[in-house]
Amino acid sequence: QLQLQESGPGLVKPSEALSLTCTVSGGSISSTTYYWGWIRQPPGKGLEWIGSIYYSGSTYYNPSLKSRVTIFVDTSTNQFSLKLSSVSAADTAVYYCASQSSGWAGWFDSWGQGTLVTVSS
């Protein structure tokens, strides 16, 4: 059973970059079964997919965020990471990492507990 855990700063200043890391345990991030995704949820609102990555480094991003998002994978540490640049208050949200089965168009089957990131000066 995969377990995922997000880590990173809970407070980021406007215009700076948000960086989060997801540590995967109970399985290998190099598994051909999964993509690895980031999803966020603003307080009191719905889910928004940010982007996903394969262990090879292949990525696809939400077009609405693509200009500010980078997702990368480190197979040596079984981690994948999110960088979101030029943040504003609209980026305040709980950020989740998740495993994505069956590739693009697949389902998110294991989720981290989520981490709240607040954008404020």
Partner 1 sequence: QSVLTQPPSVSGAPGQRVTISCTGSSSNIGAGYDVHWYQQLPGTAPKLLIYGNRNRPSGVPDRFSGSKSGTSASLAITGLQAEDEADYYCQSYDSSQREVFGGGTKLTVL
Binding positions for partner 1, rule: CB under 8 A: 37, 39, 46-49, 52, 60-63, 96, 101-102, 104-105, 107-109, 111-114
Alpha helices in 1-121 (DSSP H): none
Q: Which is nearer to partner 1, 79 or 100 (CB)?
A: 100
Smallest distance, partner 1 to C-beta of residue 96, A: 6
What does the block give as tokens for 14?
């406007």
Smallest distance, partner 1 to C-beta of residue 7, A: 15
Smallest distance, partner 1 to C-beta of residue 16, A: 25
Euclidean distance between CA atoms 22 and 73, whole angstroms:
9
Sequence-ordered list of residues with C-beta below 8 angstroms from that of 58, at least 6 positions apart, any chain: none
